[in-house]
Amino acid sequence: MNFLTVKNGEVFYRNEIEFLNRNDFQDSVLNALTSGYRMIGLFPVDKKNPNKIVSILSDSVSSSLYIIGCEIPGNKLEFESFANQFPQTNYFECELAENFGYKPVNHPWLRPVRKQNIILGNQLYKFFNIDGDEVHQVAVGPIHAGVIEPGHFRFQCHGELVYHLEINLGYQHRGVESLMLSANPNQRIILSESIAGDTVVGHTYAHCSAIESMTDTQVNLRAQLIRSIAEELERIAMHLSGLGGIANDIGFALPAAAYGRLRTLVINSLAFLCGSRFGRGLFVYGGVRFDFNDENLKQIKGNLEIIKKDISAINDFFFSSTGALLRFENTGIVSKDFAVKIGLVGTAARSCGIELDTRIHFPYGAYRYFPVSPVTLSTGDVFARARLRALEIDESLSFISEQLENLPNGKIISDLNKLRINSGVISIVEGWRGEIVHTAFTDEEGKILQYKIKDPSFNNWYGLSLALRKTAISDFPLCNKSFDLSYAGHDL
Amino acid sequence: MIDEIRLRILQRNSVIQDVGAALLPKLFRGLPVIGDKPCPDGCKKCAEVCPTDAIKTDPLSIDLGLCLFCPLCEEVCPEKIIHYTNNFNLAVDKREKLIVTKETEAVSPEKASEKIKKYFGKSLKLRQISAGGCSGCELELNALSNVNFDMGRFGIEFVASPRHADGVVITGPVTKNMAHAAQICYDAVPNPKIIILFGACAISGGIFQDSEETERKFLEQNKIDLFIPGCPPHPLTLINGLLNWLDKK
C-alpha cells in the first residue's frame, strides 16, 4: 500500500502524501477499511482546490494513522462510495459531497449534513417516510423543550415504537473551519474554545497540539500535566452533568440535584486554576497560561475530597434504584457489531464493548508517561452509557489525585517557532465525549491552508438514530441524554 | 428511604443565600477597570491583541459587548492599566452602557418601568433560544436551576414553550440556519415580552462577528431589554442583572 504512515501529532510534509488516480485510491481505501481501519477524515488538502482529496484512516492496534491522496482531474468529481460495504464512511462522504460538490456514486443514502433539506448542490432532500396503518410521523425541533441546542428530529413511528429516526442538523453552523483560515493566532485559540463550549479543553488541546507540532515546539512536562488535569476535570464535570441530566430525564430529582452540586465543585476548581469555569484562557501555544500554586491547589484538592467522599454514595443510590434500572436496561441498544460498522467513538463505543480511547491507543502529551486504565462495558444500552460515565469519573479522579501529588517543576510556556511550510499534522485528543480530530495543512508561506475539525458527535449522531429503532418514542429524551452529543461540535 | 435521607444530608445546604454578596474566585475575569495611569506613547498593544476588536485606544475603552473576558489585554499591558476584577455585576439595559472607560466604576441596568415591574416583577418565565450558542452559555443557563443558584426562588424560571413565556433569552451569534426558527419562536411569545441577550455572541457576534454564516437582522429589528456580557456569562451575572432590573433587591 502507498499510505503515508504517521503517529498522532507527528508532522509530515505535504509532498509525502501520494496522490493516486481514482481507481487506485478506491482500492487502497477499500483495502484499509477491510483491514479494520477506521476513517477519520475525507476532505481536500486545499479548500479552494477540491480536485485533490485525502483520506485519513486510523488503526488503533498499531497506533498509526494512514494518509492517502487522490487527484481527480476535471469537473467530474466522483468516486465509488465505500458506504455500502463500510457504513462508517457514509457521513464523511455526505460531508464531502455537501461541501465540495463531490458525488459518491452508488451511495446508499445521501443526506444533508449541515444544509437544510438540500443535497448535491440544489436537489431537494425529502425525509424518509414510512406508510401504513397506524404509522405516523413525529417532527421535533429545531427548538426543543429545554435549554439545549437546536436540531431537528423526524420519527417514523408505529404506535409507541420508533421504526426510524432521522436527525437533521446544521442549525448551529457558524463557519468555524473557514474562520480558522482567516483568523490570527489569538483568534484561533478562542475559536477552538468555542467549537463546542462543553469541550473547551478537549478542542483547544487538539488545536494547540497541532500548531505546536507544526512549529516543532516542545511543551514542558509540567504544562502537559496541567493540560491533562484540566482535561480530566472537564471529563468529570461533563460526566456529572450528563448523569444529572439522565436522572432528570427519568424524573429522579434527588440524584439529579446531587450530581449537579458536585459538578459545580469541579467547574469551580477549573475557575480556581484559570478564572473560567470551562477552562477558557488556560491554553496558549507552547503550554498553559496559569499554574498551580499553594492556594489554588488547596482549594482544588478540597473540592476533589468532597467529590470523592460523596460520589460513591450517590452512584450507589442511583444505580441500585429499581425504578432507574428498569428505564436504563435494554433501552436504546447498539450492538457491538453495529457500533463497529458505523464507526462509533468515545463513551458510546466503549459502552458497546469497543476498546477505543485515544489516551491509550494514540497517546499524546502527559498520557504517554502516565497512562489511564481503559473502561469498557458491553451491553450498549442506556445503562452501559450511564454506568460507563460513572466509572470514568472514578478513573479521572484517581488520575488527577496522583498527578497533583507529583507535579514536576518547569516552565509552563515554551517559545513558539514559525509554522513549517508545506506541512500537515493530525492531532487527536480524547475529549470527554470521545475522539476529537484536528487536521491542519500549511502552504508554501507557512500559512494555514486547510483546517479540518471532527468532533466525536460527527460519528455518534448516527448511533443515536440506530439506538432508537424499536425503542419507545417516550424513551427518546433518555437515549439522547445517554449519548449526550454536541450540536455545535457537529455543525461547526 | 434511609439511603435517600443519607443522600439528602450529604447535600447539606448548598444554595447561595445572598446572590449579591457571593464571592467569585480571584482569577475570575469580571468587570474590567481601567487605571488612571496614562498609556505609554503610541502603545496599542491591548487593542492589537484583542481577538474581537473590543478595545479602542485614545482614550482607552473596552466594549463589554464584544469582550470575551480572555486574559490577553491584561497580560500584554506594559503598565498594568487594564485589570479584570472578579465583579460579576455586568448586566445593563442599553448597548452603549457596555463601553467601559477610565471613569467606569460599575455598570448596572436602569430599573425597569413600572409597567414591566407590574407584569414580570413577581413571576418571569423565559424561553431560551440557542441560535449558534456553543453550549457554554446553555450550560450556564442550565446551572441557574441547580441547587446552588436556584433561580426559581425568585420567581424566574425557564419554560418549555414560548407560549408559556414572558420573554426570550438568546444565546449564540444567530446563525443563518437558526434565524427563521428564532423569529418564529419570538413571535409565538405573547405580548408584552422581553428579549435578553446572553453572552458576547448574542450581543455582538463575538468571535463570530465576521462569519458569513450569521444573520442578525432579527436582533437589530427588536428592542433588547437586557444585555448579559461574558463568554459565557456567570450565572450570577444574569440573576443579579434581573433582580436589579426588576428592582427585587
What does the pLDDT look like over A51-107, one tens digit per residue? 999 999 999 999 999 999 999 988 889 999 999 999 999 999 999 999 998 999 999
- Closest residue by Cα to residue B206 from B63, B86, B75: B63
In tens, the pLDDT along A146-188 reads 889 999 999 999 989 999 999 999 999 999 999 999 999 999 9
Residues A183 and A84 in one domain: no
Would A426 be classed as within a structural domain? yes
User: What confidence score (pLDDT) does residue A8 get?
Assistant: 94
User: What confidence score (pLDDT) does residue A202 get?
Assistant: 96
For A118, how many CA atoms within 13 A lie in the half-sphere containing its CB? 11
Q: Is A241 on the interface with B (CB under 8 A)?
A: yes
Would A42 be classed as within a structural domain? yes
In tens, the pLDDT along A249-307 reads 999 999 999 999 999 999 999 999 999 999 999 999 999 999 999 999 999 999 999 99
Contact A36, A449 (CB under 8 A): no
Nearest chain A alpha carbon to B136: A197
Question: Which residues 267-306 of A are in CB contact (within 8 Å) with B?
Answer: 268, 271-278, 280-281, 289-290, 296, 299
Would A155 be classed as within a structural domain? no
In tens, the pLDDT along A7-44 reads 999 999 999 999 999 999 999 999 999 999 999 999 99
Residue B210 with chain A: CB contacts under 8 Å: 179, 182
What are the backbone angles phi and psi of residue B194, rounded to the nearest 5°?
Answer: -120, 160
Indicate the residue among A61, A90, A113 that finishes a domain: A113
In tens, the pLDDT along B170-221 reads 999 999 999 999 999 999 999 999 999 999 999 999 999 999 999 999 898 8
Residue B27 with chain A: CB contacts under 8 Å: 271-275, 290, 296
Would A160 be classed as within a structural domain? no
For residue A336, the domain's CATH number is: 1.10.645.10
Q: Write the residue in B141, B181, B213 that is nearest to A175 by C-beta.
A: B213
Nearest chain A alpha carbon to B169: A147
CA distance linking residue B138 with residue B121, whole number of Å? 24
Query: With 90 as the cut, is the pLDDT of residue A2 above it?
Result: no
User: What confidence score (pLDDT) does residue A1 get?
Assistant: 61
Residues A89 and A211 in one domain: no
- Closest residue by Cα to residue A376 from A387, A365, A364, A361: A387
A172 and B175: CB-CB below 8 Å?
A: yes
Which grid coordinates are listed for A113? 449534513
User: What confidence score (pLDDT) does residue B1 get?
Assistant: 81
Residue that the C-alpha cell 486545499 belongs to = A46
Would A403 be classed as within a structural domain? yes
Q: Which residue ranges form the domains of chain B, and what is each CATH number?
A: 114-245 (3.40.50.12280)
Quote the domain boundaries for residue A79: 4-113
Mutate to test the interface with A, among B3, B83, B130 (most CBs of A within 10 A): B130
A197 and B135: CB-CB below 8 Å?
A: yes
CA distance linking residue B142 with residue B232, whole number of Å? 12
Residues A213 and A92 in one domain: no
Q: Is A171 on the interface with B (CB under 8 A)?
A: yes
B138 and A142: CB-CB below 8 Å?
A: no
For residue A99, the domain's CATH number is: 3.30.460.80
| Ordered mean pLDDT values, 10 residues apiece, chain B (249 residues) | 89 90 92 91 92 92 95 93 94 94 90 91 95 94 93 94 95 94 94 94 95 92 94 95 90
Q: Write the residue in B128, B176, B208 that is nearest to A147 by C-beta.
A: B128
Residues A485 and A400 in one domain: yes
Nearest chain A alpha carbon to B10: A310
Query: With 90 as the cut, is the pLDDT of residue A345 above it?
Result: yes
In chain A, the number of structural domains is 2
Residue B132 with chain A: CB contacts under 8 Å: 171-174, 488
Please tell me the total number of residues recorded for chain B in this structure: 249
B178 and A142: CB-CB below 8 Å?
A: yes
